[in-house]
Structure 1
Amino acid sequence: MDILIIFRLLFRKIWWLVIIPAVIIVLAVVLTINMPLKYQSTAQLATGFTQEGQIQVTDERMNLRDAGVKFSNLVETMTSELILTLCTYKLALHDWKESDVPFKTLDPDDEAAALLTPQSKEKFIKIIEEKYEKMELLSSYSAEDQMLIEVLAGYGYLSWQLIENLSVFRVRDTDYVKVQYLSSNPIMSAFVVNNLSKEYIRYENSLNKNFSGQSVDFFRKQFAAKEQALQQATKAYNDFKTATGVLSYEGQSDARITQVSEYELMKENAESEISRLRLSIADVNRRLSQLNSGDNRAEINGKIVEIRNKIDQLNEQYRQSGSTDTELANSIKDLKFQLQVQMTQLADQEALEGAGSGYTKEQLEQQRDEYQLALQVERNKVAQINSKLRQLGSNMSGFASNEARMERLRSELENAKDEYNEAQSRYNTELSKAMVSETSVKLIIAGQPNGNPESSKRWIIVLMAGVASFFICAFVIVIMEFMDARLKTPVQFKKLVNMNLIGTIPFIPIKDPELPLLFKNNKVEKPERETFKHFLRKLRYEMERKDDSVYLISSNKQGEGKTFIILSLAFSLSLIKKKILIIDTNFRNNALTRILLPDQADRKRIKAGQFLLNSPDFNREEGKDAKYQKSENKADTDEEFVSGIVSPTAHRQIHIIGNTGEQASPSEIFAGRDFQNMIKQLKLNYDYIFLEGPSLNEFSDTRELIEYSDKVVTVFSADSVIKQIDRESLEFLNGIKDKLSGGVLNKLDIKDLKQ
């Protein structure tokens, strides 16, 4: 549904869109004519949430997010049931005890007035004073409290009644909060905002004092426990120092460590000397072994001479063979490698003999003995040093154990001092907080009675009522249109019915007998009648451009307008000199017969078992079966029957074959007659033949009549809704395929045709 269709739809329903808002506006004017005057009073609070000028006990800095949370908490607390109830108590005490001019009085006919007797008032005042001091709510479980609640509800002082006209909000981007109250009494409005602010401040101070007292008690106990722990740690440390007789382990520890370091150095020097002596002994042994291996030199020289001779011989053979013998070449190569090895061994032997020169064997052996004696001396020296180090280590172990214990006691003492100092600092901080536990919220501008009433906004209310009713009405119209499942437009028809639409007929307020006058009148008619003629001519054109002449006009349900369509088409076709025959085959409802043959008893009509009505030959055997009646009229041939049952109408171009109205089906009524042959004979004399069939949903007559027609036209009313039973009939019609000409949408609203 596009926007243009919506506007057209709303324009069609313009009277609803005018009348309903107008009624609502008049109703709003009447209901608001006696609106009471309202007076508003405003109080302003300074919260101190975003200011740092006040006393700071801690180093906490203002945080904008935290400030926002504080403002939200303030508004929530101030509008809570408890704070509002405290204000309720103040209002009740004002009216009953503190002032001779109460804000409100009860109507004597009110049920609450019956509960407020002089005796009960004194009792109520006492209950309120106790609850106010203790900051407690009234309990619905107490009978007296329940009575008091009913009385206060009669005054309109309960929390849920006060909050309806109360407004608490932060002034944007400031440290201030405004409290506003609206009532019919300006003094009461000021009283409420001032007392509500004071009760909030009293509640916050009480809450802070309670929290501060609990916090101080907690940290006082914690401080006492840390002080006792410090005393115990100090006593344990001093007792251990006295028991060991050592004032300081640091001096003794340094002396022992120095002595151990000296012995470690001596041990290191001795071990170094041992390593040197071992190397010297190994060097002497090596030189002795070299002196013993001097006889090998002559043997190596002999091998070298022998290898060289072999090489010379093979070289001579290799030259004589033309230097092509590969085996001789490889053998010469191997001998040269052996020669190189022997030469290397000879060089190593000469180097060894040179290294050992200058010493005799006896001198080297004497030198080795001296080195071995010095090695033994150094080993004994290392053993003595190790013994001394073990002795020092044994003495140091007990010393280290005592020192570790004293260090642990000293660490415990330092931790106890730190915890004591921290607990003392936190305790002092909480004491300081308790001294400044009052809330930072202050009432800086008290509410004053307002001499001028607030604008009632009556006309705004009236205007909004009219605008709202207009849009609601428009919304309802659009929704109803959207949910409307009727076949009211060709677009809707094509969407819901799978059938070709061959014509649309608008609705006009005319009766069937008036149709001839409509077509005979050549004067300019009313616009809706001219529109009707225009669309009927379009349907006539659709039928003229086809070669078919026998049409069965049916519908899915009754009341769709089949009779009206047949009559309209007949009269329309007669205007162009077409000869029309209407066969009233709707035996269930012979409306065509009643319209075109009114009170003509002498006319022949179709009837089950016989074909002539009020004929003496047919009436004399009414008690016999139909087949006997027919046999008695053998002279009545098919030709005579056809010519006998056709009756003229008031319009000379239109004839009709009527019926008497039956409950039998066409097959039963046409039994014994060749109705198909009769249709063929009639087609010779008429341009168009129209048959009317009963509704498909209720009867099977249309299904039996289809075989006698060239085309089937189905009539749909624009007010109809397609249901499941209609879909079954549509499925049958689509099954006859070529015989189905299409549908005609009848009774359209002319305004819908313009969408």
Structure 2
Amino acid sequence: MELGKFFKLLWKHKNLLIIIPLVTIIVSFFLVKNLADKYVSSAQIATGIVDQSRHLLDADPTAASSKEQSIAHEFSNLIEIMKLKTLINQISYQLILHDLKSKVPFKPESKLFKSMNPNARQHAIEVFSKKFETLQPLSYYNKDEEGLNELLRSMKYDERSLRKDLLIVRDEDSDFITVSYESENPQLSAFIVNVLCKQFINYYTTTIRQNETDAVNYLANLLEEKRKALNTKTSQLQDYKIQNGILNLDEQSKSIFDQIMVYNDRKQQAERDVASYNGAIKIIDSKFEPGERKYIEASMVKYNQDVINSQDQLHILTDRYVRSNFNPRLKPAIDSLSNKLTAQINQTSDKYIVNPLVGKDDLVKQKLTLEVTRDLAKYSIRAITGALNDLNAKFNRLVPFDATVKTFNFDIDIASKEYLDVLNRYNQTNLQSTFSIKLRQVEPATPDAAEPSKKMLLIILSGVIAFAFCVIVLFGIFFFDDTIKEPADLVKRTDLPLLGHLNTVMGSLDLRKLWDVEHRDKMRLFKELIRSIRFEVDQELRGEKVLGITSLANHEGKTVLAISLAYSYSMINKKVLLIDGNFDNPTISNTVQPKVYLENYFKNNPDNYEQLNNTTNVMGNHGGDVTLLEISDENFIRSKFNELKTKYDIIIIETPPLSSLNKSKEWLLFANKVVSVYEANKGIAKWQKDDVKYLKSLNGKFAGWVLNKTDPKKDRF
């Protein structure tokens, strides 16, 4: 629905949508017909970034993905370098030097250029040549160089002018960068592109080569420092080992630790043997009576001496065996002495040293053997404990050596890693510097033919833009337009019913001629709309007779509607009374010049004998700052209206607008139905919303709206 309204608005302004684009096209034609042809020259630079044939030695397959990510950054960096002010200035210098030296300049000479004498030209050539060789810009704070800057600007050779038509892009995903320039001279376009490519390659090669040389030299010096630091740490460790007699701390500490574990095992075994031998001896002793033990001890004294001597020798030999770390060479001597000791013990058992009445000689032999073995185990424990103490002392002495050596080794590891890292970076940088990117201009710029003319395109584009601009402006007007143009808009905005609408009628309205003869379409439409409103009013009144006509503001058409309705009712043989209740603007009274005035008729005065005759159909007012209830009280006025109802079929009251506050509302107290006139193409102001609420508060008393001054083209029969 809203879109349809917008198209109607466009159709309404169709002449505007045709004339403005047409004028724009005509103006554009005269503006572009004398435009000079444009010439574009292009050149290509191979970067070697994507070309794998130039990266055979420095290629890193593992870094393929990361390299792909950096390619775009490398191309972007190259393009930005080409756009540097330093390189654009080089083009400016070359262009102005060409025009100063050549008889055929690229562009027509400017006024400033023509005003230069030979000395000034020679001076300009010297300054521009020096600036070109040293890659320096002209200073704006030097009067002489500022004048040369002004010369460049006058010839459109300055940086800002050159950048406008300069285009530098990468050719999709290729290895090439395309440089192009557009101008009115094909020689100029080719010259600018070739100079830029040449200066860019020289600048980039020089800068990159210097950076690579500095990087390689720095890494070489750093590598030498790291090598010296590593050698120093290694020499300190060697000197410390020599001074403290250290061969291999790990092997030495491991050997001592293994010996300690072996001695601990043997000590634990000996302690277990001593405990078991003591238990066995205790059990044997328990089997002898006290008297027998005395006999045994007395008889064995002379034999025990030999056993004790042999035991002492065995103790000495066992101690040597333990201290020699269980040297197998001493094992045969220990076994021989043990056999001798066993024989001596057996000899003691052969004598009658026990009570011959008791057969316990075997027990005695066992006891003696167990005692000897126990004594050997006890002595071996003492020897093993001494050896353990010596080994622990040696092991503890190695701990501070180990800590110091580990510190040296840690420092050497760090120095070695730093050295290797620097060495790798040095080798990589050295290789990259050898195979770094080498830019080359693979396709020089040449003067080409003129570009296809864009004049027709510009003319058409100007017409399209003008048309689009008009449409946008009309859309803005449509979007922000909150005026009421159609009856449906009024109902939607107020939520109140609608009785009908009236079209706009230009000039004076002669109601007699309107009903007597046929007029043009607008008059005929107006008459039909009045008839429709009359019918709707009859349906609303339902036998009632008083109709009040009001509006939200002045000059919205109350008077026209009131007079038209009154005349329309008279045409169907109704007796009508039209009351002009608008004291502020008594249009009906001034037009008709009535014989009866409501100030006289409604005034509650015993001397008032104002009566209406059968020919009276208009009651006017004298105007002024007065209200209805100031003329008389409500009850009297109501009685007068009852009297009027008996004489007339329909009473139409034109009231003041609702903006006059109580002046209108006092009249509406006596109306059976209220009709409000609203002028089309106006919006409802904020201060009028209260009046709309008042009409809603009338409930069934409000008959509806009449929309006045509508567009007749939108009306339908």
* TM superposition score normalised by structure 1: 0.76
Residue deviations 1:608-629 (CA, integer Å, cap 9, x gap): 5x579xxxxxxxxxxxxx99xx
Shifted more, 497-506 versus 530-539: the winner is 530-539
From 732, 735, 746, give the equivalent of 2:697.
735
Partner residue, 1:480 = 477
Aligned partners of 1:286 and 1:533: how far apart in 2?
155
From 90, 97, 101, give the equivalent of 2:94.
90
Secondary structure of the 2:501 match is: strand
Unaligned runs of 5+ in 1: 290-358, 598-602, 613-625, 648-654
Q: Is the 8 A contact 1:166 1:181 kept in 2?
A: yes
Partner residue, 1:208 = 208
The answer to whether the aligner puts 1:549 opposite 2:545 as a matched pair is yes
Q: Is the 8 A contact 2:556 2:677 kept in 1?
A: yes
Aligned partners of 1:245 and 1:556: how far apart in 2?
119
Aligned partners of 1:658 and 1:395: how far apart in 2?
140
Secondary structure of the 1:21 match is: helix
CA positional deviation for 1:751: 3.9
Secondary structure of the 1:643 match is: coil
Secondary structure of the 1:566 match is: helix
CA positional deviation for 1:473: 1.9
The answer to whether the aligner puts 1:718 opposite 2:690 as a matched pair is no
From 433, 438, 441, give the equivalent of 2:439.
441
Shifted more, 476-485 versus 365-374: the winner is 365-374
Aligned ranges 1:335-350 → 2 under 5 Å: none
Partner residue, 2:567 = 571
Secondary structure of the 1:196 match is: helix
CA positional deviation for 1:418: 5.9
The answer to whether the aligner puts 1:493 opposite 2:490 as a matched pair is yes
The answer to whether the aligner puts 1:101 opposite 2:96 as a matched pair is no
CA positional deviation for 1:257: 7.5
Note closer, same or farther for the CA distance 1:429–1:750 as it changes in structure 2 (3 Å cut).
Answer: same
Partner residue, 1:294 = none
CA positional deviation for 1:584: 1.6
Secondary structure of the 1:588 match is: coil
Partner residue, 2:336 = none
Partner residue, 2:613 = 643
From 555, 576, 580, give the equivalent of 1:580.
576
Partner residue, 1:700 = 662
CA positional deviation for 1:589: 1.7
Note closer, same or farther for the CA distance 1:139–1:495 as it changes in structure 2 (3 Å cut).
Answer: farther
From 67, 71, 75, give the equivalent of 1:67.
71
Aligned partners of 1:197 and 1:372: how far apart in 2?
110
Q: Is the 8 A contact 2:38 2:185 kept in 1?
A: yes
Residue deviations 1:495-521 (CA, integer Å, cap 9, x gap): 222322111112232423x23222221
Coordinate RMSD, CA, aligned: 3.8
Q: Is the 8 A contact 1:584 1:659 kept in 2?
A: yes
CA positional deviation for 1:268: 5.8
Aligned partners of 2:145 and 2:569: how far apart in 1?
91
> Aligned letter for 2:99?
D
Note closer, same or farther for the CA distance 1:723–1:3 as it changes in structure 2 (3 Å cut).
Answer: closer
Q: Is the 8 A contact 1:116 1:151 kept in 2?
A: no
Note closer, same or farther for the CA distance 1:695–1:390 as it changes in structure 2 (3 Å cut).
Answer: same
Aligned partners of 2:692 and 2:387: how far apart in 1?
123
Aligned partners of 1:466 and 1:390: how far apart in 2?
111
CA positional deviation for 1:31: 2.2
Residue deviations 1:53-96 (CA, integer Å, cap 9, x gap): 12556343553222122222223332343332332232222223
CA positional deviation for 1:183: 0.7
> Aligned letter for 1:207?
T
Shifted more, 152-161 versus 582-591: the winner is 152-161
Secondary structure of the 2:613 match is: helix
Secondary structure of the 1:578 match is: coil
Secondary structure of the 2:167 match is: strand
The answer to whether the aligner puts 1:455 opposite 2:452 as a matched pair is yes
Aligned partners of 1:485 and 1:250: how far apart in 2?
98
Note closer, same or farther for the CA distance 1:673–1:544 as it changes in structure 2 (3 Å cut).
Answer: closer
Residue deviations 1:319-355 (CA, integer Å, cap 9, x gap): xxxxxxxxxxxxxxxxxxxxxxxxxxxxxxxxxxxxx
The answer to whether the aligner puts 1:158 opposite 2:162 as a matched pair is no
Q: Is the 8 A contact 2:537 2:703 kept in 1?
A: no
CA positional deviation for 1:165: 1.5
Aligned ranges 1:8-47 → 2 under 5 Å: 8-47=8-47
Secondary structure of the 1:746 match is: strand
Q: Is the 8 A contact 1:270 1:378 kept in 2?
A: yes
Residue deviations 1:81-137 (CA, integer Å, cap 9, x gap): 33323322322222234x3322224432xxx66996666655554444444344344
Partner residue, 1:338 = none
Aligned partners of 2:250 and 2:706: how far apart in 1?
121
CA positional deviation for 1:564: 1.1
CA positional deviation for 1:207: 2.3
CA positional deviation for 1:362: 9.0
Identity %: 27
Partner residue, 1:518 = 514
Shifted more, 422-431 versus 244-253: the winner is 244-253
Aligned partners of 2:428 and 2:492: how far apart in 1?
82
CA positional deviation for 1:230: 3.6
Secondary structure of the 1:684 match is: helix
> Aligned letter for 1:714?
S
> Aligned letter for 2:22?
A
Partner residue, 1:355 = none
Partner residue, 2:393 = 394
> Aligned letter for 2:484?
L
The answer to whether the aligner puts 1:383 opposite 2:382 as a matched pair is yes
Residue deviations 1:289-348 (CA, integer Å, cap 9, x gap): 9xxxxxxxxxxxxxxxxxxxxxxxxxxxxxxxxxxxxxxxxxxxxxxxxxxxxxxxxxxx
Q: Is the 8 A contact 1:519 1:571 kept in 2?
A: no
Aligned partners of 2:250 and 2:665: how far apart in 1?
126
Aligned partners of 2:173 and 2:696: how far apart in 1?
74
From 495, 501, 504, give the equivalent of 1:504.
501
Note closer, same or farther for the CA distance 1:269–1:518 as it changes in structure 2 (3 Å cut).
Answer: same
The number of residues matched between the two structures is: 643
> Aligned letter for 2:388?
L
Note closer, same or farther for the CA distance 1:392–1:591 as it changes in structure 2 (3 Å cut).
Answer: closer
Note closer, same or farther for the CA distance 1:249–1:684 as it changes in structure 2 (3 Å cut).
Answer: closer
Partner residue, 1:4 = 4
Aligned partners of 2:209 and 2:31: how far apart in 1?
52
Q: Is the 8 A contact 1:288 1:364 kept in 2?
A: no
> Aligned letter for 1:48?
G
Note closer, same or farther for the CA distance 1:476–1:282 as it changes in structure 2 (3 Å cut).
Answer: farther
Aligned partners of 1:91 and 1:742: how far apart in 2?
82
Unaligned runs of 5+ in 2: 290-357
CA positional deviation for 1:747: 0.8
> Aligned letter for 2:532?
K
Note closer, same or farther for the CA distance 1:246–1:540 as it changes in structure 2 (3 Å cut).
Answer: closer
Shifted more, 693-702 versus 405-414: the winner is 405-414
Shifted more, 690-699 versus 37-46: the winner is 690-699
Q: Is the 8 A contact 1:605 1:660 kept in 2?
A: no
Secondary structure of the 2:450 match is: coil
Note closer, same or farther for the CA distance 1:360–1:566 as it changes in structure 2 (3 Å cut).
Answer: farther
CA positional deviation for 1:198: 1.9
Secondary structure of the 1:508 match is: coil
Partner residue, 2:595 = 604
Partner residue, 1:303 = none
From 705, 710, 714, give the equivalent of 1:748.
710
Secondary structure of the 1:708 match is: coil
Q: Is the 8 A contact 2:598 2:620 kept in 1?
A: no
CA positional deviation for 1:285: 8.0
From 521, 530, 536, give the equivalent of 2:524.
530
Note closer, same or farther for the CA distance 1:681–1:414 as it changes in structure 2 (3 Å cut).
Answer: closer
> Aligned letter for 1:423?
V
Aligned partners of 2:359 and 2:138: how far apart in 1?
127
> Aligned letter for 2:197?
S
CA positional deviation for 1:188: 0.8
Q: Is the 8 A contact 1:35 1:456 kept in 2?
A: no
Aligned partners of 2:680 and 2:255: how far apart in 1?
122
Aligned partners of 1:486 and 1:696: how far apart in 2?
19
> Aligned letter for 1:539?
I
Aligned partners of 1:66 and 1:367: how far apart in 2?
93
